[in-house]
Amino acid sequence: MLLSFCLVLVLNTGCQNKEDKSEEFPIRLLTLDPGHFHAALVQKSMFNEISPTVHVYTPEGAELKAHLRLIESYNNRTEQPTAWQEKVYTGSDYLERMVSDKAGNVVVIAGNNQKKSDYIQRSVEAGLNVLADKPMAIDTEGFNELVKAFATAKKNNVLLYDIMTERHEINSILQKEFAHLPSFGKLEKGSLENPAVTKESTHHFFKNVSGVPLVRPSWFFDVKQQGEGIVDITTHLVDLVQWECFPNEILDYKKDIQIVSAKRWPTKLTAAQFEQVTQQKEYPSYLAADVKDGILNTYSNGEINYRLKGIHAKISVRWNFKAPEATGDTHFSIMRGTNSNVIIRQGKEQKYKPVLYIEPANQSAMGRVEMELQKDLKTIQAKYPGVELKKLEKGWEVIIPEKYKVGHEDHFAQVTKKYLQYIKDRKLPEWEVPNMIAKYYTTTQAREKALEH
């Protein structure tokens, strides 16, 4: 089957091609069991370092077809079309075949999280670099396996890295920048009742990806396979807390993290809603225990209260079925400083677009904060020309030029570009691995805490 722009499918056959000139490229991608659309988003853009030939090892099925349709859409789009050539192997021994073929040197893993620990470990054992979608661990057992995988990766001199797109969102970037300038002061310690850092995220099961309705696999609603909400989207939020509060610092998960409290609760979906998002008319047997009176209860919501190096943080994630018209996923974040607070809001007033604000911690200090902020703005503008401040009654809105506002899907190209540089350098920043371990310790320990209730 030959599709436009050379999307080549070779099913149930070997992946060797004598005419393949991929040796000209330092990076050759392997896609392993792409059950989540994030696997395709890694290929939404092309890179000079990456061979256009991508070897896919996966079971046959609807998830593979969905993955290939997305790649085909990128190849066929009018503006900046890609030219990927997908060589697909669907034998039952797809994992063993990937390891033995050695057709590439970077494995992209985005799919069923129940399998992810094994996929990661087998890949790094084989001397392959891994770029993995979050979460890389969904329970304590998976966390322990991940720690071993990082040790194996170090031994075999390969890089294991997760896809943290939110570090490339401009509001989060500038929130981090302003929180380390004099106008902010020092980060408060906070408390359970009034955390120093709060991050809240709302997501939706039914959504569009690359312009078309997303079809989610049925297993996405099984917490044993996808993971609970408290260990999934929270990965991004915990990562942002670490990255914004303690940039470039090595965190010790055994000493620096204390889970104070955690809770979980379900989103309720009707059979009609489940069918709309999965295109399956019946609940699969593995979801039977979560179905009550025809309603699916999937534990996609969670909240974590914890201390990180003495700073109290609160993160929460909520999933609804579908966003109201003209809205989408939303994010709220506040970092409280001794002089001012830096806040991201994304509600109705902001037309559901993220907007960054700076507000004095005490309104009586407005004048003093404004003097410091005008100086700090010059520091920001040196890195991000065009950023301005707009005076409001309670503080300032940070005016961000459109050129910095890159959409979520395009953040994957930014993550990939950074990862390619790490591979070229043959190392990650020294804080990345211990902080990834700290991140997954936080989420999996919070799950354990939530299950106590």
Q: Nearest to residue 321, comparing CAs of 207, 219, 199?
A: 207
Which pLDDT score is estimated for 408? 87
Instruction: Work out the burial of residue 248: count CB atoms within 10 Å of its CB; fewer than 13 is exposed, 13-18 middle, 19 or more buried.
Output: exposed
Exposure pattern of 377-398 as b/e (b: 16+ CB <10 Å)?
Answer: beebeeebeebebeeeeebbbb
Which pLDDT score is estimated for 55? 98
Tens digits of per-residue pLDDT, 228-265? Answer: 999 999 999 999 999 999 999 999 999 999 999 999 99
pTM of the model: 0.92
Which pLDDT score is estimated for 407? 87
Edge-first strand order for the sheet with 85-89 is 85-89, 53-57, 29-32, 106-109, 129-132, 160-162
**Residues in the chain with pLDDT values less than 70:** 1-23
Distance (Å, whole) CA 84 – CA 76? 10
Which pLDDT score is estimated for 122? 97
Distance (Å, whole) CA 431 – CA 438? 10
Q: Please answer whether residues 379 and 356 qualify as being in contact, where contact means their C-beta atoms are separated by less than 8 angstroms.
A: no
**Taking the CA of residue 369 as centre, how many other CA atoms within 13 Å lie in the half-sphere pointing to its CB?**
24
Which pLDDT score is estimated for 325? 74
Distance (Å, whole) CA 306 – CA 443? 10
Q: Which domains does the chain have, with CATH numbers?
A: 2-163+412-440 (3.40.50.720), 167-407 (3.30.360)
Give the bridge partners for 301, in sequence order: 265
Which pLDDT score is estimated for 11? 44
Which pLDDT score is estimated for 213? 82
